[in-house]
Amino acid sequence: MKKEPASRSAKILEFPQVEERSLAEDLIKARMWRLTRLVEEFANSTINVLEIENSMLRELLEELVVKEAALRWIVRTASHSNGQVREKLWADIDGALTELENTAETYDFYSKRALNSSVLTSASHVATGNDGRVAS
């Protein structure tokens, strides 16, 4: 009885067949489209983090914008690739996209929290008559 080499018998990763891969890629592209719209909304929002003096949020937004743009480029590259390179790129894209979606959720939560805090502080200043001006 002839033994098969270990490299042939053990599969580390199994990628879906062509029909399934196409569906998986389409789902990733749809998630990517939603993330792109969300990041654009964050960047163009009236709640813009630049108005909220919070360096953590500003850095998080900058990170989201840069990483989302880079991932969009990788998606375009993967769409034009073939074979194992294509499969590996799509697997990597899926993982990176999940991480960016989590980062976007975190940004959304904390930016709304910071905005609410800012609004409450402003309302408090108006209610007490303290508008931030110093008497001369």
SS3 readout for the chain: CCCCCHHHHCCCCCCCCHHHHHHHHHHHHHHHHHHHHHHHHHHHCCCCCCCCCCHHHHHHHHHHHHHHHHHHHHHHHHHCCCHHHHHHHHHHHHHHHHHHHHHHHHHHHHHHHHHHHHHHHHHHHHHHCCCCCCCC
Query: Greater confidence, 98 or 136?
Result: 98
pLDDT band at residue 85 under the 50/70/90 scheme? very high
In the numeric block, the tokens 């940004």 are attached to 107
Range 28-52 average pLDDT: 83
Are the C-beta atoms of 89 and 74 separated by less than 8 Å? yes
pLDDT for the residue numbered 5: 58
Asked, for residue 1, whether it belongs to a domain, the answer is no
pTM: 0.69
Closest C-alpha to 38, from 104, 114, 111: 104
- CA pair distance 54, 110, nearest whole angstrom: 10
pLDDT for the residue numbered 115: 73
Domain count, the chain: 1
Q: How many CB atoms lie within 10 A of CB 30?
A: 10
Range of the domain at 107: 23-116
Asked, for residue 132, whether it belongs to a domain, the answer is no
- CA pair distance 53, 115, nearest whole angstrom: 10
Range 71-86 average pLDDT: 94
Give me the chain's average pLDDT, please.
79
Asked, for residue 131, whether it belongs to a domain, the answer is no
pLDDT for the residue numbered 35: 97
User: Which two three-digit tokens encode residue 102?
Assistant: 């989590």
Range 59-85 average pLDDT: 94
Q: Is the pLDDT of residue 87 over 70?
A: yes
Asked, for residue 127, whether it belongs to a domain, the answer is no
132 phi/psi in degrees, rounded to 5:
90, -5
Q: Is the pLDDT of residue 9 over 90?
A: no
Digit-coded pLDDT (tens) for 99-136: 999 999 999 988 888 777 765 555 555 555 555 555 44
Asked, for residue 133, whether it belongs to a domain, the answer is no
Percent of residues, the chain, with pLDDT higher than 90: 44
Percent of residues, the chain, with pLDDT higher than 70: 64
Asked, for residue 97, whether it belongs to a domain, the answer is yes
